[in-house]
Homo-oligomer: A and B are copies of this chain.
Amino acid sequence: MSQHQLRLASTRFYKVFEQLDLEAMSQLWARNVPVSCVHPGWDLVLGHQAVMDSWRAIFEGTSELHFENEEAQVTAGAEMGWVVSRELLRTTVQGMPVENTLTAVNTFVLEEGVWRIAHHHAAPLLAGRPRSTRAKETVLH
What is the interface of chain A, defined by CB distance below 8 A to chain B? Answer: 33-34, 36, 38-47, 50, 54, 57, 72-73, 75, 77-82, 84, 86, 101, 103, 105, 107, 109, 118-119, 121, 123-126, 128-132, 134-135, 138, 140
Contact = CB atoms under 8 A, between A and B. Distances in A.
Given A82-B119, A121-B103, A44 B135 contact: yes
Given A39-B129, A46-B135, 6 more contacts: A41-B126, A46-B138, A50-B134, A79-B79, A82-B107, A121-B121
A108 to B, nearest CB: 10
Q: Is the interface of A mostly helix, strand, loop or mixed?
A: mixed
Contacts of A43: 86, 101, 103, 125, 129-132, 135
Contact of A130 (B54, B73, B86): B54
A42 B130 contact: yes
Contact of A50 (B79, B101, B103, B132): B132
Residue from A50, A75, A77 having most chain B Cβ neighbours under 10 A: A75
Given A72-B44, A130-B57, A134-B46, A121 B123 contact: yes
Contacts of A126: 40-42, 124
Residue from A33, A54, A107, A123 having most chain B Cβ neighbours under 10 A: A123
